[in-house]
Amino acid sequence: MSLTSLLIPTYTQMLTALSGWLEKARAQMPQGEAEALLSARLAPDMFPLSTQVRFACVQALEAVHRLRGLAFPAAVAELLNEGRNAGERPGTLSDAQSRIAETIASLDSLGPEALDVDPGSPIAHELPNGMIFDLTAEQYARDWALGQFYFHVMIAYAILRSGKAELGKADYIPHMLPHLRP
């Protein structure tokens, strides 16, 4: 399996699901309650929903650019800044939906072999705190890029569920429903 065929559909499917969860919350709740979810957190030391959405987008964009050896686009810095400041300025559900749509559009613009680099090629992944992980492209995709992406998507799901959005397993895996045996 190529890195492109692993990562791009995964990011697209789960970002589409995330967008659907936000839309479902908007449809189920009074506007003020749905918008207030953007400031909700699972724990006091965790980022709010608005940050989780933005950081999920960041993870997808960073992986695409890091694996291709490209500098991050301005959108990554914008998303990071919005996410880090979301406690004070969470934005709106429309803002969150726009960020997801922009990220999906960026993923959709990639060619069918965009991330098909040598899986053994080295990637030095530096964190903001100065820690550096020396990984292969395959290790980075499997052990970091997917894990970090799913972390933010799952926290968003959990915040929405704990905020009384009526979501279930079918909402988490809508991309699987076409494969369901009749």
Q: What is the pLDDT of residue 158?
A: 97
Q: Which structural domain range is residue 170 located in?
A: 3-179
Q: What is the pLDDT of residue 87?
A: 86
Q: Taking the CB of residue 142, how many other CB atoms lie within 10 A of it?
A: 16
How many domains does the chain divide into? 1
Tens-place pLDDT, residues 148-179: 999 999 999 999 999 999 999 999 999 999 99
Tens-place pLDDT, residues 18-75: 999 999 999 999 989 999 999 999 999 999 999 999 999 999 999 999 999 999 999 9
Helix (H, G, I), strand (E, B) or coil at 71: coil
Contact between 25 and 163 (Cβ < 8 Å):
yes
Q: Which residues contact 44 (CB under 8 A, 6 or more apart)?
A: none
CATH of the domain at 31: 1.20.120.450
Tens-place pLDDT, residues 124-135: 999 889 999 999
